[in-house]
């Protein structure tokens, strides 16, 4: 996701990006309280639209943020924004904050922000290069909700670079969870695909990938240990922006370069 | 803290509260990334000014947020804001966010917000009534930094009310840490005062209280277990807004009503 594109929808109107503003007493600014979802669109059409909206409304409900418009109204606004910005391909971020709290603590009427973003799908070169991950002991709070909390992920950036890694893989007590913006998978030597099933945010790409993978492989949603990683044949991540990318290294564990299963899944997911 | 008072300082100017706005691409709105500090002032004079600014600049540094003004300049702005708002007593919140990030992830030139808030010191009735706490298994991320992350605290509010409690006491694996906005202390039957020394935000009131308490009692900064609470004689919390308040109940453990040590410390801290 790189940069907001011209028009933004804020609460009940379309505004130019630099005019889309929130009062500083919003609960996101005061207390980091908010949720979002991010979906992509191709040829002006949102991809996995209903899956993203399902998750979005669920996040809002879990965080007691009352969305002031119906699902259909929200769809209409998103489609209108895409037309208005007139780029056939890109990403839409729907953010909801805790609103202008009278005491800086209570949730009030939320602010709804819909912004459009450019992003580039991973290139062939990026797929071939793969990702280097470094593990860090951390468990996201309220992991099943897509909150705006990326405090740890951003705070860790210099440490990730010091470790010559592209991203961090959270683990807690040796049990691997997820990356800050993607889900994690391994492929065992007997071609089983394993991905964590709890204490994670369940990505839409993850969901689609599991559905596809079940046509070809045995898929298991269960804990992955650092030892499982040591014994794995392949590892990869999934996300809306990155689709599927091979992981070539986690800490000191290098993967051999085989990406047969990962490539197969990338090809199949790309078709959707 | 209840409500912002008229003038707010944003980056380089004084603005009316409703005009103090941030673009929605600020990293606080996008990723919950920011820090703050909160100090009170009496008769137009900030209390423990340098202690709060020490912590503020330390939080900013730890979070790689570059403050664009010197300590003296910041002091001048705060004092000017207090004069401008023309209330002799109240609170000042200094917030710094991750700025208008080009990709919604990188930290840029931070936004600096200084807002004034009304707050009422605890009344005699509140002191006598005390606080009921309910414990919850949670460890704040980056606990030593005063970040804007209060996701869990706000999310837990209905659960706190369901438990007929006034606030939550975070514990992890039976080791007690802190409340979301205050530090926690117990008094043992032999009059030792114990407060957690790690995995917490070190409050300014906590610091002053420890200094004072050492004149009268043995003070230990070390882990407190739920068992220690069961055996304690008194428990209390400290914060800038609440000063010192007795804890009358934690989960099912009721305290007998003795607040001799707590009262002594409240009286001594009030003198400062």
- Who among B24, B103, B107 is closest to A113 (CB)? B24
Among chain A residues, the shortest Cα distance to B119 is held by A103
Measured between CB atoms, which of A1, A25, A149 is closest to B149?
A149
Residue from B7, B30, B108 whose CB has the most chain A CBs within 10 Å, to mutate: B30
Per-residue pLDDT in tens (0 to 9) along chain A, 272 residues: 445 568 999 999 999 999 999 999 999 999 999 999 999 999 999 999 999 999 999 999 999 999 999 999 999 999 999 999 999 999 999 999 999 999 999 999 999 999 999 877 889 999 999 999 999 999 999 999 999 999 999 999 999 999 999 999 999 999 999 999 999 999 999 999 999 999 999 999 999 999 999 999 999 999 999 999 999 999 999 999 999 999 999 999 999 878 899 999 999 998 88
Do residues A235 and A131 lie in contact, with contact meaning Cβ atoms separated by under 8 Å? no
Q: Residue A213: its pLDDT value, please?
A: 96
Pairwise CB contact (< 8 Å): B95 & A18: no
Q: Express each pLDDT in B68-116 by its tens digit.
A: 999 999 999 999 999 999 999 999 999 999 999 999 999 999 999 999 9
Residue pair A127/A27 in contact by the 8 Å Cβ criterion: no
Q: Provide the pLDDT for residue B192.
A: 97
Which residues of chain B carry a pLDDT beneath 50?
Answer: 1-2
Between chain A and chain B, the number of residue pairs with CB atoms below 8 A apart is 145
pLDDT of residue A257: 77
Measure CA of the first residue to CA of the last residue in chain A; give whole Å.
Answer: 20
Does an H or E element contain B23, and which? strand B21-23
Question: Hey, are the CB atoms on B147 and A149 less than 8 Å from each other?
Answer: no
pLDDT value of position A122: 86
- Cβ distance B138 to A138 less than 8 Å, yes or no, reads no
Contacts of B8 in chain A (CB under 8 A): 24
Put simply, whether A173 touches B (Cβ < 8 Å) is: no
- Helices A260-271 and A204-213 cross at an angle (nearest 10°) of 110
A105 vs B: CB within 8 A: yes
CB contact, 8 Å: A113 with chain B?
yes
Query: Residue B271, SS3?
Result: helix
CA of residue A157 relative to chain centroid, distance: 17
pLDDT for residue A120:
79
ipTM confidence score: 0.95
Residue of A nearest to B37 (CA): A30
CB-nearest partner of A22 from B24, B153, B158? B24
| Residue among A20, A24, A64 minimizing CB distance to B24 | A20
Minimal Cβ distance to B28: which of A21, A28, A153 = A28
- Predicted confidence at residue B5, as pLDDT, reads 60
Chain B contact set for A156 (CB, 8 A): none
| A160 in contact with chain B, both atoms CB, cutoff 8 A | no
Spell out where A207-259 has E strands: 218-221, 224-225, 234-239, 243-250, 253-254
How far is the CA of A257 from the CAs of A176, A209, A236, A248, A265, in angstroms? Answer: 22, 21, 12, 7, 16
C-alpha closest to that of B116 among B1, B246, B33: B1
Residue among A241, A264, A266 at smallest CA distance from A47: A241
Inter-chain residue contact B154 with A31, CB threshold 8 Å: yes
In A9-68, the residues whose Cβ lies within 8 Å of chain B are 10, 17-18, 20-34, 36, 63-64
Rounded to two decimals, the pTM is: 0.95
Task: For residue A49, give the H/E element and its range.
Answer: helix A49-62
The burial class, CB within 10 Å (0-12 / 13-18 / 19+), for B227 is exposed
Could you tell me if residue A29 is left (phi over 0), alpha (psi between -120 and 50 degrees) or otherwise beta? alpha
CA distance B176 to B143: 13
The DSSP bridge pattern shows strands A192-195 and A218-221 to be: parallel
The number of C-alpha atoms within 13 Å of A235 and in the hemisphere containing its C-beta is 28
> Using CB atoms, which residue from A24, A115, A138 is nearest to B8?
A24
Cα end-to-end distance, chain B, whole Å: 20
Contact B154 A25 (CB under 8 A): no
Tell which A residues from 181 to 240 touch B, by Cβ distance under 8 Å: none
Say if CB A67 and CB A60 are below 8 A apart: yes
Q: Which residue of A has its CA nearest to B157?
A: A106
Task: Give Cα A10 to chain centroid, integer Å.
Answer: 22
CA of A150: how far to CAs of A129, A140, A147, A240, B32, in Å?
A: 26, 9, 8, 17, 6
Interface test mutation site (partner A, options B29, B100, B242, max chain A beta carbons within 10 A) = B29
Determine the residue among A15, A27, A31 to mutate to test chain B binding: the one whose Cβ has the most chain B Cβ atoms within 10 Å: A31
CB A66 within 8 A of CB A97: no
Spatial neighbors of B15 by CB under 8 A, at least 6 apart, are: B7, B8, B9
**pLDDT computed for residue A256 by the predictor:** 80
The DSSP symbol for B233 reads S
Q: Chain A interface, mutation test: which of B2, B24, B112, B139, most A Cβ atoms within 10 Å? A: B24
Question: Strand B243-250 vs strand B131-137: parallel, antiparallel, or unpaired?
Answer: parallel
Mutation target among A20, A22, A24, A142 for the B interface, most CBs of B within 10 A:
A24
Q: State whether B141 and A138 contact (CB < 8 Å).
A: yes
CA distance B216 to chain A (A): 36
């Amino acid at each position: 996701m790189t940069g907001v594109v011209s028009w933004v929808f804020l609460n009940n109107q379309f505004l130019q990006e630099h005019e889309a503003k929130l009062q500083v007493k919003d609960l996101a600014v005061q207390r980091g309280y908010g949720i979002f979802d991010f979906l992509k669109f191709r040829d002006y059409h949102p991809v996995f639209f209903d899956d993203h909206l399902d998750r979005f409304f669920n996040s809002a409900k879990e965080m007691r943020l009352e969305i002031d418009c119906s699902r259909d109204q929200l769809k209409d606004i998103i489609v209108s924004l895409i037309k208005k910005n007139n780029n056939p391909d890109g990403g839409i971020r729907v953010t909801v904050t805790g609103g202008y709290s009278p005491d800086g603590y209570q949730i009030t009427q939320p602010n709804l922000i819909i912004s459009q973003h450019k992003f580039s799908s991973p290139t062939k070169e990026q797929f071939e290069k793969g990702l280097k991950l470094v593990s860090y002991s951390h468990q996201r709070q309220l992991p099943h909700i897509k909150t705006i909390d990326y405090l740890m992920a951003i705070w860790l950036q210099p440490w990730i670079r010091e470790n010559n890694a592209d991203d961090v893989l959270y683990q807690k007590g040796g049990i691997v969870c997820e990356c800050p913006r993607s889900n994690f998978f391994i492929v065992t030597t007997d071609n089983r695909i394993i991905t964590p099933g709890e204490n994670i945010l369940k990505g839409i790409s993850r969901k689609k990938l599991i559905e596809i993978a079940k046509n070809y492989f045995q898929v298991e949603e269960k804990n992955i240990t650092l030892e499982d990683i040591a014994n794995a044949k392949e590892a990869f991540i999934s996300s809306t922006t990155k689709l599927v990318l091979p992981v070539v290294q986690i800490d000191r564990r290098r993967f051999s370069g085989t990406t047969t299963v990962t490539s197969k899944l990338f090809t199949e997911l790309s078709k959707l």
